Chains A and B, each alone.
Chain A
Amino acid sequence: MRRALLGGLGVSLLLAGCGGDDRAGDAGLVPDSLRYGGTAVVASDFEVNSMNHFVSVDEISRQLQIFVLFMTLIQYDETLEPVPYLAERWETRATGEGLTLVFHLRDDVRWHDGEPTTAYDVKFTFDRIKDPTTAYPRASLLALYDSAVVQDSLTIALYLQRHPGYMDPWRTITPMPRHILGDVPALELPHHPFGAESPVGNGPFRFVEHRSGDRWVFEANADFPESLGGRPFLDRLVYRVLGEPATRQAEFIAGGVDVSIIVPPGQVAEIEAHPEIRIISYPNRNYGFINWNGRRPLFQDARVRRAMTLAIDRQRIVDVVRQEFGQVAKGPVPPFHWAYHADLEPLPYDPDSARALLDEAGWVDQDGDGIRERDVIKASFELKTNPISTREDIVTLVQSDLAQIGVEVSIRLQEAESLGQDITSQERRFDAFMLGWSAEFNLDDRILFACSQLDNPFQWASYCNPRVDEILEQVALMEDRSKALPLWHEYQETLQWEQPYTFLYYDVRANAVRDWVHDVQMDIRGDFVNAKDWWIEPGSRR
Chain B
Amino acid sequence: MTAYIVRRLLQAIPLLLGILTLVFIIMQAVPGDPMALYMQPGVAPEVLEQMRQNWGLDQPVHVQYFRWLKSFLTGDLGFSLTQNRPITAILAERIPNTLILSGTSLLLIFGLGIAIGIVQAVRQRSLLDHSLTFSALFIYSMPSFWLGLMLILIFAYKAHMIAWWPDVLKFPASGMTSVNYDLMGGWGRLANRLHHLVLPSIALGVSSAASIARYMRSSMLEVIRQDYIRTARAKGLPERAVILKHALKNALLPIITLLGLYLPFLFSGAVLVEHVFAWPGMGSTIVDAISQRDYPLIMATSFVFAVMVVIANLIADILYAVVDPRIRYE
Contacts and interface: CB of A to CB of B under 8 A. Distances in A.
**Chains A and B bind each other:** yes
Interface of A: 1, 39, 41, 47, 49-50, 52, 55, 57, 132-133, 135-141, 187, 190-191, 193, 195-197, 211-215, 217, 236, 238, 240-244, 246-251, 253-256, 415-418, 420-422, 424, 447, 456-458, 542
A235 to B, nearest CB: 10
Given A140-B42, A421-B33, A424-B39, A212 B85 contact: yes
Contact of A247 (B41, B48, B173, B288): B173
B103 interface: no
B288 to A, nearest CB: 7
Interface string B27-43: 00011110011111111
A291 to B, nearest CB: 15
A49 B156 contact: no
A135 B51 contact: yes
A246 B278 contact: no
Interface stretch (B76-84, B124-132, B245-253, B306-314): B76-84
22 contacts: A50-B83, A132-B44, A132-B46, A132-B47, A135-B48, A138-B42, A139-B42, A190-B79, A193-B85, A196-B84, A212-B85, A212-B93, A213-B284, A215-B179, A217-B179, A240-B174, A243-B278, A247-B174, A253-B160, A254-B160, A420-B36, A447-B41
B43 A242 contact: no
Contacts of B175: 214-215, 240
B157 A47 contact: no
Given A243-B275, A246-B152, A251-B173, A196 B83 contact: yes
A247 B276 contact: yes
Contact of A242 (B30, B90, B170, B278): B278
Interface in B12-64: 30-33, 36-48, 50-51, 54
Nearest to B36: A420
A542 B179 contact: yes
Q: Which 5 A-B pairs have the closest CB atoms?
A: A417-B32, A138-B42, A213-B280, A140-B42, A418-B31
A247 B160 contact: no
Interface in B79-135: 79, 82-86, 89-90, 93-94
Contacts of A248: 174
Contact of A137 (B31, B38, B173): B38
B293 A417 contact: yes
Nearest to B30: A418
B178 A250 contact: no
Contact of A196 (B46, B85, B149): B85
Contacts of B293: 417
A140 B43 CA distance: 7
Given A137-B42, A246-B153, A447-B41, 9 more contacts: A132-B44, A132-B46, A132-B47, A213-B285, A246-B152, A247-B152, A250-B157, A254-B172, A415-B291
A215 B93 CA distance: 13
A255 B157 CA distance: 9
Given A57-B40, A457-B39, A191 B291 contact: no
A247 B278 contact: yes
